[in-house]
Amino acid sequence: MKKIKQSIKTCKSLKDLEQLRLSLFGKKGFFAAEFAKMKTLPNDEKKDFAQKLNADKDLYLNLLNDKKMILESIAIEKEMKENSVDVTLFNSTPTSGALHPVMQTMDKIIEYFVSMNFSIQEGPLVEDDFHNFEALNLPKYHPARDMQDTFYFEDSMLLRTHTSPVQIRTMLNETPPIRVISPGAVFRRDYDLTHTPMFHQVEGLVVDKAGVVSFANLKYILEDFLKYMFGDVKVRFRPSFFPFTEPSAEVDISCIFCKGKGCRVCSHTGWLEVLGSGVVDPNVFEAVGYKDVSGYAFGLGVERFAMLLHKIPDLRSLFEGDLRLLEQFR
Ligand code: PHE
In this predicted model, which residue has the larger pLDDT, 19 or 95?
19
- Residue 154: predicted pLDDT: 87
Q: Which of 17, 49, 83 is the last residue of a domain?
A: 83
Whole-number pLDDT of residue 214: 95
Q: Are residues 230 and 267 in the same domain?
A: yes
Residue 98 has a pLDDT of: 84
188 CB under 6 A from ligand 1?
A: no
Mutate to test the pocket of ligand 1, among 142, 244, 251, 285 (most ligand atoms within 8 A of CB): 244
| Pair (15, 108) in one structural domain | no
The predicted structure's pLDDT at residue 142: 83
Which residues does residue 293 pair with via DSSP β-bridges, in sequence order? 209
Q: Tell which residue, 222, 297, 308, 201, has the closest CA to residue 265.
A: 308
pLDDT of 170-214, one tens digit each? 999 999 999 999 999 999 998 887 789 999 999 999 999 999 999
List Cα–Cα distances, 139 to 40, 61, 161, 241, 322, in angstroms: 126, 102, 15, 15, 41
Q: Does 70 share its domain with 124?
A: no
Q: Note whether 10 and 77 are same-domain residues.
A: yes
The pLDDT, as a whole number, for residue 4 is 82
Whether residues 78 and 110 share a domain: the answer is no
**Among the listed residues 205, 208, 185, the one whose alpha carbon sits nearest the alpha carbon of residue 113:** 205
277 lines ligand 1 (CB under 6 A): yes
Residue 298 gets the label, from left (phi > 0), alpha (psi -120 to 50) or beta, of beta
Residue 40 clears pLDDT 80, i.e. is over it = yes
> How do the residues of the chain divide into helix, strand and coil, expressed in percent and rounded to 5?
45, 20, 35
Confidence of residue 301 (pLDDT cuts 50, 70, 90): very high
Q: Is the dihedral of CA 286, 291, 295, 300 positive or negative?
A: negative
- Give 95's pLDDT tier (boundaries 50, 70, 90): confident
Cα(110) to centroid of ligand 1, in Å?
17
Are both 121 and 262 inside the same structural domain? yes
In short, whether 170's Cβ falls inside 6 Å of ligand 1 is: no
Of the three residues 83, 114, 146, the one that is the final residue of a domain is: 83
Domain co-membership, 151 together with 256? yes
Domain boundary among 83, 111, 145: 83
Find all residues with CB under 8 Å of 77, minimum gap 6, and list them: none
Determine contact, residues 178/118, Cβ cutoff 8 Å.
Answer: no
In this structure, the number of other CB atoms found within 10 A of the CB of residue 36 comes to: 9
Does 324 fall in a domain?
Answer: yes
Q: At 316, is the pLDDT very low, low, confident or very high (cuts 50, 70, 90)?
A: confident
Quick check: 94 pLDDT over 90?
Answer: no
242 lines ligand 1 (CB under 6 A): yes
Is residue 166 situated within a structural domain?
Answer: yes
118 within 8 A of 180, measured Cβ to Cβ: yes
The model's pTM: 0.72
89 assigned to some structural domain? no
Same domain? For 267 and 172 the reply is yes
Contact 165, 123 (CB under 8 A): yes
* Total of domains in the chain: 2
Cβ of 167 closer than 6 Å to ligand 1, yes or no, is no
Is residue 13 domain-shared with residue 146, that is, in the same domain? no
* Predicted local confidence at residue 197, as pLDDT: 94
Does residue 39 belong to any structural domain of this protein?
A: yes
Q: Look at residue 94 and tell me if it is in a domain.
A: no
182 in the same domain as 57: no
Please give the mean pLDDT across all residues of the chain: 92
Domain encompassing residue 268: 101-329
Residue 57 falls within a domain, yes or no? yes
Q: What is the mean pLDDT of residues 148-153?
A: 88
C-alpha distances in angstroms, 54 versus 28, 43, 167, 180? 17, 17, 103, 99
Domain-embedded: residue 217: yes
Does a structural domain hold residue 91?
Answer: no
The pLDDT value given to residue 170: 98
| Residue 311 confidence (pLDDT) above 80 | yes
Residues 206 and 323 occupy one common structural domain: yes
Q: Quick one: 154 exposed, middle or buried, by C-beta within 10 A (0-12, 13-18, 19+)?
A: exposed
Q: Could you tell me which of 229, 313, 318, 319 has the C-alpha nearest to residue 274?
A: 229
Q: For the ranges 81-90, 156-165, 197-206, 321-330, which has the lowest average pLDDT?
A: 81-90
Q: What CATH number corresponds to the domain at position 279?
A: 3.30.930.10
Of the pLDDT bands very low, low, confident and very high (cuts 50, 70, 90), residue 64 is very high
Same domain, 37 and 127: no
CB-CB neighbours of 42 under 10 Å? 6
Query: Which pLDDT tens digit goes with each residue over 229-286?
Result: 999 999 999 999 999 999 999 999 999 999 999 998 899 999 999 999 999 999 999 9
Is the pLDDT at 122 greater than 90? The verdict is yes
The response to whether residue 184 sits with its C-beta less than 6 Å from ligand 1 reads no
For residue 201, give the ligand 1 atom closest to its CA. 4
Q: Is the CB of 199 under 6 A from ligand 1?
A: no
